[in-house]
Structure 1
């Protein structure tokens, strides 16, 4: 069994996430307290009690999702998990890349929380509300979806933002261009093409101001070599050098999340078990669509943690 740990991105957040872990394990509770302190905000109260619209704000959802993933990691470690000996690679979807790096010891939790707060604010503020949009094009391969985006741009920004799984591509850009992409995709045989309820057009050129903000924030961040390689979103290949990690995290703000290729790379390099650490099971669903033979496990409850440790340690 060769394992990769994966870490979810925005959209997986739910009110109440992480509460069971905090109640059951002091190690988990300590992570939520550390994140609250780093941000100067009782983010844990928003996570556990809502309201949902406040949790869903990009600046809150990003550090909150990371907090649950890292709380889960700390419990696994307390139960005897040694990441370096048990896990071959880590990978995360968009903000999940920061969770993956924190899990692998490349970033500490407080630094990661502050970076994600900067990232969330910068991504939200990069484009005026209503000026940008994202849409899911279902049933089209990535190359066709990229052609649709190019055809729809017409002098505006429209690009393939997330290559999530076969036939599941998200495009991002100016509102009118993304609306054109939806119509073009339907004409090209998309099974469905729908606008997404997002607050900003992530992972496209319109995020350039946010990339600049992250470049400044990451320049001062202490980044160490991770205990195991990170398969980076923009490369779909492993990296361990702190300087390269820093530059790829900046590129990731405007670049395509190459999740389908990342999972394919992992599967092609011996990974047969993908463990989603944190909230939800979005990535596990994607993994099964990308690599049908893979085993997908979700770890976000005390019971899940015990089951995983039984598998790994026996």
Structure 2
């Protein structure tokens, strides 16, 4: 068995996430307190009690999702799961890269939370509300989506933001260009082409102001070499050098999340078990579409923790 830990991105948030872990495990509760302290905000209260609209705000959703992922990681570590021994690679979808790096010891949790708060605010403010948009093109491959982008742009920005899985590509850019892309995709035989309910056009060149903000924030951040390599979104290749990690996290703000290629690379390099650590199971579903022979397991409850321990032969340990 060769294992990768993957970490979800925005869209996987839900009111109540992480509450079961906090109630069951003191290590998890301590992580949520650590994030609250780092942000000087009772973010855990928003996570567990809502309102949903407040949790969904980009500046809240990003550190909140990281907190759930790291709560699960701390519980696993306390029960003998050493990433350096048990895990070959980490990878995260968009903001999930920060969770992956924190899990692998490259960032401490407080630093990751503060960086994600800056990132969320910067991405939200990079484009005035109503000027940008994103859309999912389902049933078309990456190459076709790129052709549609070029046709739809007409002098505006229209770019592939997420290459998530075979037949699942997300485009991002100016509102009118994305609307044109949806219509062109339908004409090109897309199974579905739908506008997404997002607050900004993430992962396209319109995010350049946010990339500048992250370059400044990351230049001052303490980043160590991770104990296992990170398969970077913008490369679909593993990296470990702190300087390169900084550069790729900046590039990631405007660049394509190459998730399909990342999972393909991991599978081709022997990974047969993907644990999705954190809220939801979006990445687990993608793994099943990308690497059909691999096993995908979502880990976000006490029962899931026991399943991981059993997989590693550590034996289930009852929650305290």
TM-score by length of 2: 0.98
Q: Superposed, which structure 2 residues align to 1:208-227 within 5 Å?
A: 208-227=208-227
- By how many angstroms is 1:313 displaced? 2.3
Q: Aligned with 2:312: secondary structure? A: helix
* Cα offsets for 1:39-87 (capped at 9, x unmatched): 0100000000000000000000000000000000000001110100100
- By how many angstroms is 1:150 displaced? 1.2
2: CA distance between counterparts of 1:108 and 1:294?
Answer: 30
Corresponding position of 1:8: 8
1: CA distance between counterparts of 2:191 and 2:256?
Answer: 22
2: CA distance between counterparts of 1:161 and 1:147?
Answer: 14
- Show structure 1 runs of 4+ deviating over 3 A: none
> Does residue 138 in structure 1 map to residue 141 in structure 2?
no
2: CA distance between counterparts of 1:213 and 1:146?
Answer: 28
Corresponding position of 1:189: 189
1: CA distance between counterparts of 2:26 and 2:304?
Answer: 17
* Cα offsets for 1:8-50 (capped at 9, x unmatched): 0000000000001111111001100000000010000000000
Corresponding position of 2:34: 34
> Does residue 161 in structure 1 map to residue 127 in structure 2?
no
RMSD of aligned Cα (Å): 0.5
2: CA distance between counterparts of 1:253 and 1:167?
Answer: 23
Corresponding position of 2:278: 278
Q: Aligned with 1:67: secondary structure? A: helix
1: CA distance between counterparts of 2:197 and 2:289?
Answer: 23
2: CA distance between counterparts of 1:26 and 1:201?
Answer: 38
Corresponding position of 1:202: 202
Corresponding position of 2:318: none
Q: Aligned with 2:223: secondary structure? A: coil
Gaps of 5+ in 2: 315-320
Corresponding position of 1:85: 85
- Give the number of aligned pairs: 314
> Does residue 302 in structure 1 map to residue 302 in structure 2?
yes
TM-score by length of 1: 1.00
1: CA distance between counterparts of 2:37 and 2:143?
Answer: 44
2: CA distance between counterparts of 1:82 and 1:173?
Answer: 41
2: CA distance between counterparts of 1:60 and 1:18?
Answer: 14
* Cα offsets for 1:180-234 (capped at 9, x unmatched): 0000111111111000000000000000000000000000000000000000000
2: CA distance between counterparts of 1:171 and 1:298?
Answer: 26
Q: Aligned with 1:227: secondary structure? A: coil
* Cα offsets for 1:239-296 (capped at 9, x unmatched): 0000000000000000000000000000000000000000000000001000111101
1: CA distance between counterparts of 2:241 and 2:307?
Answer: 33
Corresponding position of 1:73: 73
2: CA distance between counterparts of 1:305 and 1:24?
Answer: 11
2: CA distance between counterparts of 1:46 and 1:6?
Answer: 24
Corresponding position of 1:108: 108
Larger displacement relative to structure 2 (145-154 or 242-251): 145-154
Q: Superposed, which structure 2 residues align to 1:211-250 within 5 Å?
A: 211-250=211-250
* Cα offsets for 1:109-137 (capped at 9, x unmatched): 00000000000000000000010000000
2: CA distance between counterparts of 1:313 and 1:110?
Answer: 31
1: CA distance between counterparts of 2:14 and 2:289?
Answer: 24
2: CA distance between counterparts of 1:147 and 1:98?
Answer: 31
Q: Aligned with 2:156: secondary structure? A: coil
Q: Aligned with 1:94: secondary structure? A: coil
2: CA distance between counterparts of 1:196 and 1:96?
Answer: 20
Corresponding position of 1:128: 128
Q: Aligned with 2:71: secondary structure? A: helix
